[in-house]
Structure 1
Amino acid sequence: MTLSESLVRLRYRFFPDHVVGEILGKKWIDSIIPFMALVVLIAIFGSIVPRFFELSTLANLSGQTAELGLIVLGLTIVMVSGGIDLSVGSTFALAVLATLYGMNVGQWSFGTGLVATLGVGLACGAVNGFMVGILRMRAFLTTLVTLIIFRSIFEIVFPQVSTEIVTSYPDSPLYDYLGMGRFLGTPVTFLVFAVIAIALHIVLSRGRYGWRLLAVGGARRSAYNAGVNVRLTVFSAYIVCSMMVALAGFFFASRIGSAASDIGAGLELQALTATVLGGISLGGGRGSVAKALMGTVFVLILSNSLLQLAVPGPVNDFVLGLVLVAAVFLDVRWVKNRHKILRSVYISPTFNKMPPSVSTESGSPMAPNDRLRQVGVIGLGILDGAEDVIFDRNDNLYTGSRHGDILRWFPPDYTRHEVFAHIGGAPMGMTFDEAGNMAVCIGGMGLYQITPSGEVSLLTAETNRSLTSVADDSSMKLADDCDILPDGRIIFSEATVRFEMHDWYADALESRGNGRLIVYDPKTKSTRTILSNLVFPNGVCTSYDGQSVLFAESWACRINRYYFAGPKTGQVERVIEGLPGYPDNINRASDGTYWLALMGMRTPALDLSLEMPDFRRRMARRVSEDAWLMPNLNTGCVLRFDEQGRILESYWDLGGQKHPMITSMREHKGVLYLCGIFNNRMGTLALPDADPNWCGVDTYWRKPA
């Protein structure tokens, strides 16, 4: 390796550019802008507003935060579900009126007053929720109308009872303590608000109801297709919102003890500014409690500081309006361009110099030929996306389907088939355990098990998180191929932790060690990663020695051996280096050797570009994906090799007429069966010298008597 190549390799090893994309891909990155805006606001007004950082000022701010914060959280729930509620100010006014009349005039108990106030919120929310959620009316226009209606009700009733409210006083120590009490110097209302905010955070981020809200707001049609009751979810969101607004009104009434005719006027502007500024998307499906709280504090600090600086109320509203316009602009632009920005920095190619290719000249075992040209065909036009093939002891053949099905084909001619099980996702590699249960890797979903009767269950979809990983790599993105170990554990590959299945070509462009080898133990139901930083690990096959496993690294064009038992436990050895194509699945052969599928061939242009990371980065940013340099997947090949890594023979279809891409093959009773994830058929090739009674499952487990 030259000095320049060494420097480039070191540069990409110690300064990994992909970290930038992983940071920008974090969920909390959306909170950076409102957080920085809040810091700047505190710095500005903290230096010009008298007594800004005094305890009394902070205590007063926390009390107001409890009231406005509840309104903002309620509005957040509605906006997350894809709606909007412009009537929060009018609902707040009705709630304050109900509280003051009940507690001051009616001399209600604390519990009665609270229930009555929440009942007002429930009624207002039910009106909005019924029209928007059930009748599917436009949220903006509907809540604009109810804003006027609720405000009109307040203005009709308030003059009739205002005198009684002012001249009467509540007789409830608990009510007085709620409004004026302090616990360790903190207003009681703020502590109650904090508990509610934490509970709501858990619901939105961990609860089923929160997931439904996000699903409805993000893609209403998809949520409906997934079984979510969209109308009921939207209806409930408006009810929860109005009840939280009513609770804020109860807090406000207990603190102020009176009300003016303009109570709640303009409150919807403050609440909407706080939610949008905090990063709650106007389009729905995106938002959190933390973002809502940042927006709330920002609006309160801005409003209070302007008032202390003797800025007139109309100017205050004008400033809030400008902030809202800026927040909406940023929200729209960010939502529209976030994916583009992230995509431009997320793909981060690294230096990867490929070794010289194994010779394919005439006379060598890898010499191109047309031995696959005349193979038989199974399932022409029926199969779609069969990545792997496997047989049970009864000669039944199993393949996956692009539609998420596992198909079972019946001997002897394999023309009849049935859907053995439906899982979803993209079925990839398969293996059988001693009891006849099938383990199957599902791209984007994890490792699943199918019993002989067709019952499906999830084995694992998570593994231990890497300590040095910026992104959370505990969830599996692309479980690829699997095999069974002698003790019953399942070892499988995850091709990449950075890209989803439909973005596999981006991983090829990076040629970075994004993959890993994982072991699942059905006895302890535990999952752990045993090897990381692998270059698109693909095929996995337990070797005959019972102590090691062979696995392929596709973009590195090599086969490795990992020892899981014996004196070399934990060691990795190179078995084949410099393959002329990209290795995929590996399976046992009847003579003690191994079959290997090459899903495509290397090209000089792509090999050369792997030594130029900057070129590939510019290509990813400036050229459409269909024009990227790609692995050549139009010419597939199957080869056979022994324990020492010697290639013994190869089978090609140079014209690509029947099997342009081969991802897997399986020998069974003298016939080699070929699969390709992009092919619409399966191939059969008779092997004259193979054992006609050989079944791969019997080489793992003793054949029943």
Structure 2
Amino acid sequence: MSMSETLVRLRYTYVPDHLLGEVLTKRWTDNAVPVFALVSVIVGFGSLIPDFFTIRSGIDALRQLGEFALVVTGLTIVMLGGGIDLAVGAIFALGAFSAVSVIYILGGPVWLAALSAVAVGALAGSINGVLVGYMRMRAFLTTIVTFLILRAVYDILTVRFANLIQTSDVDNASFNFIGDGTIAGLPMSFVVAAVFAIAAHVFISRSRWGWHIQSVGGSRRSAHNIGIPVRRTVFFTYVISGVCAGLGGFLIGARLGGVGPGTGAGLEISALTAAVVGGISLGGGRGSVAKGLMGAVIILTLTNGLIRLGFASGSTQMVLGILLALAVMLDVRWLKNRDKVLSKVYVAPVYSQMADGDTALPSSDSPYALDNRLAAADPIGLGQVEGPEDVILDLEDNLYTGTRHGEIVRFLAPDHKVREVYAHIGGFPLGMAFDRDGSLKVCVGGMGLYSVAPDRSVTRLSAETNRSLFSIVDDARLRDPNDCDIAVDGRIFFTDSTTRYDAHDWALDSVESRPTGRLLCYDPKTGKTRTVLRNLCYSNGVCLAHDGQSILFAESWACRVQRYWISGPKTGVVEPVIADMPGYPDNINRASDGTYWMAFLGMRTPSYDLALRMPDVRRRMTRKLPQDDWLFPNVNTGGVVRFDDNGEIVETLGDLGGSSHPMVTSMREHKGRLFIGGILNNRVGCLTLPGRDRNWTGPGSYWTEK
């Protein structure tokens, strides 16, 4: 190996390029920017302002945060529903005026003051809700109009009644406590806002109404099509926003003991900036209450910090405007280009050098030399099945296979001409195995491990396994369950081919060639699935050895078969069986004479073997070319191989002309015949095997024969 190739191997083997793509797919990455901004703002102002972290300063900040956070929470809910509310500042001011009027003009109790502020907010929110939700007016323009009207009403009322409020001799201790008091050292306004925020978070993330709001924000047309009352939901979000603004006004009225011309001025811009900076999408449907609150802390800290540093009010507003513009630009650009970015960075090929092996060329001296015997296979269900990835027969000679339409199809014995849908599972049924009780265990791509009972009832056995402790990849979910087999004690061993791609993206995994497959074990006694082996290169076929003490499993992109001991003195040991094959192995099943059948889904080519040693070329290929022009493994030519326990190749079958079975993903021997499946085929093949045991069956070798 040359020095340059050694450097390439080291670079693409040990530099985890794939982590960037994995991180960008996570929902929590949307929090990265606001978290960074929050930490930067707090650390920055903490270092510039000497008494920034004092207790008194913290209490004052929390008191303001309580009032501001309520407004931001309400606006967040509106934005999650796909709207916007620019009238919150005016509603906030009217709520404050209503509260202080009840206390200082009418001499009413605190509960009435709070109720009046909330009622004013609800009424104003209802007006916006009717106009935007039911009359379908544009939210931006509508809420600007209501802001102007409500602000004008507030200015008229303050001019008319400000003197009565200022000269009132009412002293309400409870109202004063809400404004200035603390509970367990925390300001009353902050406690109220915290309780409300927790309730709002639970409401949005756990209730049906909350899911409706996010669905409407994501796509109103789709929400309408699935039966969500879109107009009522939009109306409801504006009412909540009005209530939040009114309640915030009540709290500031209690803190200031009055109102003035500047009450709520510019609050709508500050609240909108907080929501967008916190990660609430202007497009709707993306964000959370927690993100909105994070943005509220950022904006309040930034505003107070600039004021304490001596910046004028105009400078503060300019900073907020610039920050809002940057946040909007980032939000719009990221939403528009997220998929493009992921498509360019997610596929991260690694260096892989395939050793030279025997050839599969016809008429060669190689044990893998393909012949043309599969071309003579008789078709079963020609044109009646699509994608029979695996085939299996029961003790009554009925033939079962899965289809890409999510069905298990059964062809009835003796001639297999009558077809019926045995069970509908969904997904893409792949590898299958019969259990002792006659139930059919099925690996379903993208869904998990399932069981079909003799009465045809379908049960999901497993959809997840134990997650790796330090893995960024969510490897708890089963993404591509591929093949399964059952041990004597009932444990089900099955493969999950890759933890990075779903079943239909197997070609991407082949281009990347990263060992992310695994061997899993489901224990019916505990109902749990555990990971047995990791870091397998597209783990595929699984077969219980004839002695019942070990599992044979195939790694397709590594072109090898290995043995894992599940019992006996070698329990837990992995041993190589066949290496450096000229083809990509798929399913493995027992043969009647103590050997094993193995499918070749395709054959290696010099060009692709060379490409595996050039990960930089494959990476540029995925970024520059459309997927139809990518270099893939050759899956247009396959075959069937029979080997013994020592890994010696006994015979090889092929279809040189590709007329019947150019690609083979599975095969089963049953009573002297070989049944052949292929994931790209429209038939099941049946080939008579001269000299084979006419009484031997696969299920019988597991459960009835001694």
TM over 0.5: same fold? Answer: yes
Q: 1:42 to 1:336 in 2, by over 3 A?
A: same
One-letter amino acid of the counterpart of residue 410, structure 1? L
Partner of 1:273: 273
Kept in 2, the 8 Å contact 1:105–1:169? The answer is no
1:634-688 CA-partner distances (Å, limit 9, x unpaired): 1121222222222222222223233332222233333322222223333222333
Q: State the partner residue of 2:628.
A: 626
Separation (CA, whole Å) in 2 of partners of 1:306 and 1:4: 54
Equivalent of 1:527 in 518, 526, 529? 529
- Structural RMSD (CA): 3.2
Paired position in structure 2 for 1:304: 304
In 1: Cα distance, 2:329 partner to 2:366 partner: 64
Structure 1 671/96 Cα, relative in aligned 2: closer, same or farther at 3 Å? farther
**Residue matched to 1:405:** 407
* CA 1:218–1:105: 2 relative to 1, 3 Å: same
SS in 2 for 1:596: strand
Of 350-359 and 312-321, more deviation after overlay is shown by 312-321
Partner Cα separation in structure 2 for residue 679 and residue 283 of structure 1: 44
Deviation of residue 26 (structure 1)? 3.4
**TM-score scaled by length of structure 2:** 0.90
1:75-114 superposed matches below 5 A = 75-114=75-114
Q: Deviations over 1:144-184 (max 9, x none)?
A: 45445554665566656555544557776554333212245
The C-alpha deviation readout for 1:269-289, integer Å capped at 9, x for no partner, is 111111111222222332234
Taking the aligned partners of 1:455 and 1:652, their CA distance within structure 2 comes to 37
2:443: which partner in 1? 441
Q: What do the CA deviations read for 1:94-147 (whole angstroms, capped 9, x no partner)?
A: 433443344444555545544554444444445545555566554444444544
Give per-residue Cα distances to partners, 1:323-342, cap 9 Å, x unaligned: 21111111111222233333
The residue identity in structure 1 corresponding to 2:522 is Y
Distance 1:174 1:643 in 2: 85
> Residue deviations 1:406-440, cap 9 Å, x none?
33333344444344433332222222322233322
Q: Indicate yes or no: 2:608 matched with 1:615.
A: no
Count of matched residue positions in the alignment of Structure 1 and Structure 2: 704
Report the equivalent of 1:549.
551
Distance (Å, rounded) in 1 between the aligned partners of 2:125 and 2:700: 65
Residue equivalent to 2:561: 559
Decide whether aligned partners of structure 1 residues 251 and 611 sit closer, same or farther in structure 2, where only a CA change above 3 A counts. Answer: same
Cα gap change, 1:373/1:237 in structure 2, threshold over 3 Å: closer, same or farther?
Answer: farther
Q: Which deviates more from structure 2 when the two are superposed, residues 248-257 or residues 94-103?
A: 94-103
2:459 paired with 1:463:
no
Indicate yes or no: 2:260 matched with 1:260: yes
Name the CA shift for 1:372/1:222 in 2 (closer, same or farther; >3 Å). farther
| Offset from partner CA, 1:391-420 (integer Å, 9 cap, x none) | 334444333232333333333444443444
Aligned residue number for residue 453 of structure 1:
455
Deviations 1:496-535 (A, max 9, x none): 1122333322221221111111111122111211100111
How far, CA to CA, are the matches of 1:504 and 1:535 in structure 2? Answer: 12
2:553 counterpart of 1:582:
no
Partner of 2:36: 36
What secondary structure is seen at the aligned counterpart in 2 of 1:332?
Answer: helix
Residue 73 of structure 1 corresponds to which residue in structure 2? 73
For the residues of structure 2 that align with 1:188 and 1:614, how far apart are their CA atoms?
A: 60
What is the DSSP-based 3-state SS (H/G/I as helix, E as strand, rest coil) of the residue aligned with 1:373? helix
Deviates more, 1:231-240 or 1:432-441: 231-240
Going from structure 1 to structure 2, the CA distance change for 1:249 and 1:438 (only over 3 Å counts) comes to: farther
Matches within 5 A, 1:318-357: 318-357=318-357
Amino acid at match of 1:325: A
- SS of 2:375's equivalent in the other structure is coil
Whether the 8 Å CA contact 1:635–1:655 is kept in 2: the answer is no
Distance in 1 (CA, whole Å) between partners of 2:124 and 2:660 is 66
Cα gap change, 1:654 to 1:301, in 2 (>3 Å): same
- Is this contact kept in 2: 1:26–1:471, CA < 8 A? no
537-546 or 49-58, which deviates more: 49-58
User: Partners of 1:401 and 1:171 in 2: how far apart?
Assistant: 78
What is aligned with 1:502?
A: 504
Aligned to 1:294: 294
In structure 2, stretches of 5+ residues that fail to align are none
Q: Which residue of 1 aligns with 2:678?
A: 676
In structure 2, relative to structure 1, the CA distance for the partners of 1:3 and 1:140 (3 Å cut) is same
Paired letter, 1:92 = F
Q: Structure 2: which amino acid aligns with 1:604?
A: P
What amino acid maps onto 2:86 in structure 1?
A: L
Q: 2:64 aligns to what?
A: 64
The answer on 1:249 being equivalent to 2:249 is yes
Please list, as runs of the form range in 1=range in 2, the aligned pairs for 1:88-487 lying within 5 A after superposition: 88-129=88-129, 132=132, 138-148=138-148, 150-151=150-151, 154=154, 162-168=162-168, 173-198=173-198, 200-201=200-201, 213-219=213-219, 234-309=234-309, 311-361=311-361, 362=363, 363-487=365-489
**TM-score where L is the length of structure 1:** 0.90
Q: CA deviation at 1:454?
A: 3.2
- Name the residue aligned to 2:664: 662
**Of 636, 652, 655, which aligns to 1:653?**
655
- Per-residue CA shift, 1:345-383, capped at 9, x if unaligned? 332222211122233252444212222223222333332
CA pair 197-463 structure 1, distance change in 2 beyond 3 A: farther
1:372 is paired with a residue whose SS is helix
One-letter amino acid of the structure 1 residue matched with residue 305 of structure 2: S
Matched, 1:18 2:18: yes
Question: Could you report, residue by residue, the CA deviation over 1:65-92 in whole angstroms, capped at 9, with x for unpaired residues?
Answer: 2222222223223323333333333333
**8 A contact 2:583–2:600 mirrored in 1:** yes
- Distance 1:238-1:409 versus aligned 2 partners, 3 A rule: farther
Question: 8 Å contact 2:72–2:271 — kept in the other structure?
Answer: yes
2:373 is paired with a residue whose SS is coil
Taking a change above 3 Å as real, the CA distance of residues 214 and 588 of structure 1, as seen in their structure-2 partners, is farther
Q: 1-side partners of 2:614 and 2:313: how far apart?
A: 61
Between stretches 235-244 and 397-406, larger displacement belongs to 235-244
Matched, 1:537 2:513: no
Question: What secondary structure sits across from 1:67 in the alignment?
Answer: helix
1:220 offset after TM fit, Å?
5.0
Residue type at the aligned position of 2:626: S
Report the CA distance shift for 1:616/1:69 in structure 2 as closer, same or farther (over 3 A): same
Q: How far does the alpha carbon of each residue in 1:614-637 deviate from its partner, in whole angstroms, 9 at most, with x for none? A: 222232233332222211111121
Choose which of 467, 491, 494 in structure 1 pairs with 2:493: 491
Change (3 A) 1:208 1:420: farther
**For residue 594 of structure 1, what is the aligned residue in structure 2?**
596
Distance 1:675 1:132 in 2: 57
Q: Residues of 2 paired with 1:441 and 1:84: CA distance? A: 47
CA contact (8 A) 1:449 1:456 kept: yes
Answer yes or no: is the 8 Å Cα contact 1:406–1:420 preserved in 2. Answer: yes
The equivalent residue for 1:572 is 574
Change (3 A) 1:464 1:680: same
For 1:604 and 1:562, the matched residues in 2 are separated by 30
1:562 deviates by: 0.8
Q: What do the CA deviations read for 1:194-223 (whole angstroms, capped 9, x no partner)?
A: 344445455656666655544444455566
Identity %: 52
